[in-house]
Amino acid sequence: MAGRTVRVRGLPTELAPDRMVDKLTIHFLRSRNGGGEIADLQLLPGDPPCALITFEAAQVAQRILEAKEHTLTVGGKKYPLEVTAHVVEPNPDEVEGGEGFL
């Protein structure tokens, strides 16, 4: 999934998780926002919470990252979103040839 996933921060905390998923899906599906088909969307708990969105095509993720601004509008309020590339750190136990470096 490398290159197809973005991390989204700045989510409104007052929305129920199912409504947040709906709002993010609609925003990131729209072509005017640079969006496209979504393969997976996960809300990650935390303070603050964030979302991981995996697109069907890496080109869509690239367009999303290149867009200057993403603003989610909910009930007349605007929430500026921070969108960054999601990079998975390799697990040292899964890296081939990981032994013998110490």
Mean pLDDT of the chain: 87
E strand or H helix at 56: none
CATH code, 39: 3.30.70.330
46 falls within a domain: yes
pTM: 0.82
Q: Determine, yes or no, domain membership for 100.
A: no
Reported as a pLDDT band with limits 50, 70 and 90, residue 93 is low
Please give the C-alpha separations between residue 34 and each of 52, 55, 95, 96, in angstroms, as whole numbers.
Answer: 16, 11, 34, 37
* Domain-located, residue 41: yes
Instruction: Map tokens 């603003």 to a residue.
Output: 71
Residue 99 lies in a domain: no
Cβ atoms of residues 8 and 53 within 8 Å: yes
pLDDT digits (tens, 9 = 90+) for 20-70: 999 999 999 999 999 999 999 999 988 889 999 999 999 999 999 999 899
The domain of 10 spans: 5-85
Tell me whether residue 91 is in a domain. no
Q: Whole-angstrom Cα distance, residue 54 to residue 52? A: 7
